[in-house]
Amino acid sequence: MKRIFALLAVMALMVAACGTDTTETTEATGGTEATEAPPEGAQAISDACALGATDGDLNLYNWTDYIPTGSLAEDAEVKDLVAGFEDEFGVSVVLTFFNSNEDMLAQIDAGASYDVVVPSDYMVTTMRDADLLVELNRDVIPNFANIAELFSDPGYDAGNLFSAPYQWGTTGIGYLYGSIDDENGVSWGVLFDEDLAAPNAGFISLLDDTRETLGSALKYLGYSLNTLNPDEVDEAAELILSTNEWIAAFNSSSYWTLLTAGEFNVSQGWNGDFLAEYDSISTEDYDAYEDYGYAIPLEGSAAWVDTMAIPTTVAHPCTAHTFINYMLDAENGGELTNFNYYASPNGAAEEFIYEEILEDPSIYPVPETMAILEFFVDLGEFNNYYADAFTRAKG
């Protein structure tokens, strides 16, 4: 337990700082144009919603396999949180997946209507500043009280006015034991360095993600993953381009199953995706954790907070608020983590989270690991520079 308190202290500093230099960033890059305020309808209806009210079915736009539902929930032996919401509130949930913040943003920008979306920290700032989010009506989300204090005033969205934290995690390397030398820790070089990658050529995957993939390359090169220096971003893009010689794929949507299926030996990815997969293929007679590992590379990496937010394209704002409140329930929050193997920002959920998860340093990292992690921040107009660089990097 002591370790968790030390960890929380480090996290407190990091989450508070996360995104706080955004104003500086946008000023430094010329500032983002203020766009129009959200359509009055969505905000006005949200402000008038009653506690537990619904005004139609829920269109949820979430990352792949990020909420327990159907056979996934059954296999993991956790509550089906989608069916649970449908049963409790008498509405249907339509679930659509996305695989990167940028893909989700492009859809919302183009006017696609969803009731709840799941942007990461920096993307909340981007969307908020572009007036793409409805301000949450906290009167009908009383379960906000369950959120641990250190997640209650994040730098990316002061006071959580536009977002509610969903899960937090890290970016690292999932791998088949024996495929890389991990005796003294793992270097990003197993992905980015020609010699270190050679033994696994053709069996390596990178995330298909502007900030994440460039971010890991930047870390390998010794730079910040929020750098505003174009030369550093160019260098990272060149490095990724060079990996085309030995990587099998850019993949953010199924790398965890492809790893355990033997298609990949070494994959860049998110901690919970790997760990939940290792658990799901384990049986009474077989423990996949003996074959596969997860490492946060020595050069440092990314930590992130994913959130729930309501886009201004919302069609059912009251159902959206009711869903966010449902997900922030202590027991539901616990089940979410028991399924996802990502850490929970919900303090009250802790008593419902399996002990083995709370004690797993790949999920709740020790303070020394936290110290080498960096949160992404919104880069204002410089986001476009990263986007162009990543397009070039993919070749």
Instruction: Figure out which of the listed residues 61, 63, 175, 203 binds ligand N2P, where binding follows CB under 6 A.
Output: 63
Instruction: Name the token pair of 48.
Output: 């008038």
Question: Could you tell me the smallest distance in angstroms from the CB atom of residue 35 to ligand N2P?
Answer: 25
Binding-residue pattern over the window 10 to 49 for ligand N2P, x denoting contact by CB under 6 A: ----------------------------------------
- In the list 32, 120, 307, 337, the residue contacting ligand N2P (rule: CB under 6 A) is 120
Count of H-run helices and E-run strands, the chain: 18, 10
Backbone angles phi, psi at 346, to 5 degrees: -90, 105
Instruction: Please pick, from the candidates 129, 277, 306, 329, the single residue that binds ligand N2P as defined by CB under 6 A.
Output: 306
- The contacts of residue 166 (CB under 8 Å, 6+ apart) are 118, 305, 306, 307, 308, 327, 336, 345
Separation of alpha carbons 63 and 82, rounded Å: 14
Please, are residues 164 and 142 in contact by the beta-carbon 8 Å criterion? no
CB of 251 to ligand N2P, least distance (A): 11
Q: Which stretch binds ligand N2P (CB under 6 A): 61-69, 215-223, 231-239, 279-287?
A: 61-69
Whole-number Å distance between alpha carbons of 340 and 274 = 10
Kindly state the smallest distance separating residue 74's Cβ from ligand N2P, in Å: 18
Of 57-65, 109-117, 138-146, 242-250, the window that binds ligand N2P (rule: CB under 6 A) is 57-65
**Site for ligand N2P contains 208 (CB under 6 A):** no
Toward ligand N2P, which CB reaches closer, 89 or 97? 97
* DSSP per-residue letters across 330-386: HHHHHHHHHHH--B-SBGGGGGGS-HHHHT-TTTS--HHHHTTEEE----GGGHHHH
Nearer to ligand N2P, 239 or 343 (CB): 343
Q: Report 233-272 residues binding ligand N2P (CB under 6 A).
A: 270
Nearby residues of 344 by Cβ (< 8 Å), 6 or more positions away: 167, 168, 333, 334, 336, 337, 350, 353
Q: How many residues bind ligand N2P (CB under 6 A)?
A: 9
- Any contact of residue 304 with ligand N2P (CB under 6 A)? yes
Instruction: Provide the token pair at 321.
Output: 């608020």
Q: Which residues bind ligand N2P (CB under 6 A)?
A: 63-66, 120, 270, 273, 304, 306
